[in-house]
């Protein structure tokens, strides 16, 4: 009898816990779409007027996919937790039969930066030197080896922390010809999905990670959340979470937890 009571009250508690689990907080402003097809669109991004933080974060959603209009790049995923957007990144190539060369990118004067934390710069080819200049004229690049095992003829380098221009120059260090490639790619993806980097010449794009600058000054006295950044310039890639006692989606504001829900349920 006693056990039955204990069991019943445990069951009630369990049901209550399930019922009380709050729905995930909205990631879009009220009245705004939070998805484009399969892709979730968290604020500061948004679809349509008054739904994004400013024009730079406007998403065009159509039958082809989701595009960051300001830089005309197609989005594959946006992760607010990581403060990163996965976009279709270009593949720069030279002397590869049947492919166009890929368009270099210049994100200057936009809030977007190529993530040095999630991306790796890869050059593919035999004795290929690939160099690109960063925002502050720092050169990034590497020279690939030339072995008999074609799949080993690539090299990688880490981009500088505030890279906004992707315009690698491909050169042969000897008189060999042949296909050469350079791209900035999500490192985890590259390691787990690409065993032979030469196969990238048959792809239209690689997944590239962008981070963005957000003006967090308006929150400066706000105790309800905190942000951290992996970037030299703390304005970029701010990963924000609500502080203890607060809940919600930090970029739209964290609110104090409502403890009274507990009482309401027992009425």
- Which lies closer to ligand NAG via its Cβ, residue 177 or residue 204? 177
Q: How far is the CB of 93 from ligand NAG (least distance, A)?
A: 10
Q: Quick check: 188 binds ligand NAG (CB under 6 A)? A: yes
Place of tokens 């042949």: 178
Q: What is the size of the binding site for ligand NAG (CB under 6 A)?
A: 40
Q: Quick check: 151 binds ligand NAG (CB under 6 A)? A: no
Helix (H, G, I), strand (E, B) or coil at 88: strand
| Site map (CB under 6 A) of ligand NAG, residues 101-120, x = contact | -----x-xx-x------x--
Q: Quick check: 217 binds ligand NAG (CB under 6 A)? A: no
Asked if residues 162 and 134 have their Cβ atoms less than 8 Å apart, the reply is: yes
Q: Quick check: 86 binds ligand NAG (CB under 6 A)? A: yes
- Which lies closer to ligand NAG via its Cβ, residue 77 or residue 257? 77
Strand 154-157 and strand 119-124: the pairing is: antiparallel
Cα–Cα separations (whole angstroms), residue 220 to 27, 87, 131, 168, 250? 21, 30, 39, 39, 13
Q: Quick check: 137 binds ligand NAG (CB under 6 A)? A: no
Q: How far is the CB of 188 from ligand NAG (least distance, A)?
A: 4
Asked if residues 215 and 111 have their Cβ atoms less than 8 Å apart, the reply is: no
Asked if residues 116 and 161 have their Cβ atoms less than 8 Å apart, the reply is: yes
Q: Which of 234, 243, 258, 262 binds ligand NAG (CB under 6 A)?
A: 234
- Which lies closer to ligand NAG via its Cβ, residue 151 or residue 167? 167
- Which lies closer to ligand NAG via its Cβ, residue 177 or residue 196? 177
Q: Which of 91, 113, 170, 206 binds ligand NAG (CB under 6 A)?
A: 170
Residue 232 CB neighbour total at 10 angstroms: 11
Closest CA to 141 of 173, 112, 118: 173
β-bridge mates for residue 241, sequence order: 226
User: What's the chain's length in residues?
Assistant: 267
Asked if residues 163 and 114 have their Cβ atoms less than 8 Å apart, the reply is: yes
Residue 64 CB neighbour total at 10 angstroms: 9
Kindly indicate which of the ranges 6-14, 23-31, 75-83, 220-228 contains the residues binding ligand NAG, using the contact rule CB under 6 A. 75-83
β-bridge mates for residue 185, sequence order: 120
- Which lies closer to ligand NAG via its Cβ, residue 56 or residue 160? 56
Q: Quick check: 95 binds ligand NAG (CB under 6 A)? A: yes
Distance (Å, rounded) from C-alpha 179 to C-alpha 97? 8
Query: Nearest to ligand NAG by Cβ — which residue?
Result: 215
Q: What is the DSSP letter of 260?
A: T
Q: How far is the CB of 44 from ligand NAG (least distance, A)?
A: 8
Asked if residues 53 and 44 have their Cβ atoms less than 8 Å apart, the reply is: yes
Binding residues (CB under 6 A) for ligand NAG: these are 54-56, 60, 62-64, 67, 77, 79, 81-82, 84, 86, 94-95, 106, 108-109, 111, 118, 165, 167, 170-172, 177, 180, 186, 188-189, 192-193, 209, 213-215, 233-235
């Amino acid at each position: 009898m006693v056990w039955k009571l204990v069991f019943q009250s445990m069951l009630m508690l369990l049901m209550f816990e399930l019922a009380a689990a709050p729905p995930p907080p909205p990631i879009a402003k009220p009245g705004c779409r939070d998805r484009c097809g399969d892709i979730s669109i968290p604020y500061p991004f948004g679809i349509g007027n008054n739904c994004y933080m400013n024009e730079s974060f406007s998403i065009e959603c159509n039958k082809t996919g989701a595009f960051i209009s300001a830089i005309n790049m197609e989005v594959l995923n946006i992760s607010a937790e990581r403060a990163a957007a996965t976009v279709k990144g270009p593949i720069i190539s030279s002397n590869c039969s049947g492919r166009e060369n890929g368009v270099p990118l210049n994100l200057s004067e936009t809030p977007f930066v190529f993530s040095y934390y999630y991306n790796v710069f890869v050059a593919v080819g035999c004795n290929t030197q690939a160099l690109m200049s960063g925002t502050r004229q720092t050169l990034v690049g590497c020279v690939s080896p030339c072995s008999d095992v074609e799949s080993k003829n690539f090299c990688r380098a880490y981009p500088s922390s505030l890279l906004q221009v992707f315009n690698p120059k491909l050169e042969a260090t000897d008189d060999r010809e042949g296909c050469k490639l350079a791209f900035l790619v999500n490192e985890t993806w590259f390691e787990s999905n690409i065993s032979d980097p030469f196969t990238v010449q048959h792809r239209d794009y690689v997944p590239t990670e962008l981070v963005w600058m957000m003006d967090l000054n308006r929150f400066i006295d706000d105790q309800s959340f905190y942000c951290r950044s992996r970037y030299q310039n703390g304005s970029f890639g701010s990963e924000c979470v609500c502080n203890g006692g607060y809940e919600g989606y930090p970029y739209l504001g964290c609110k104090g937890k409502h403890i009274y829900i507990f009482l309401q349920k027992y009425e």
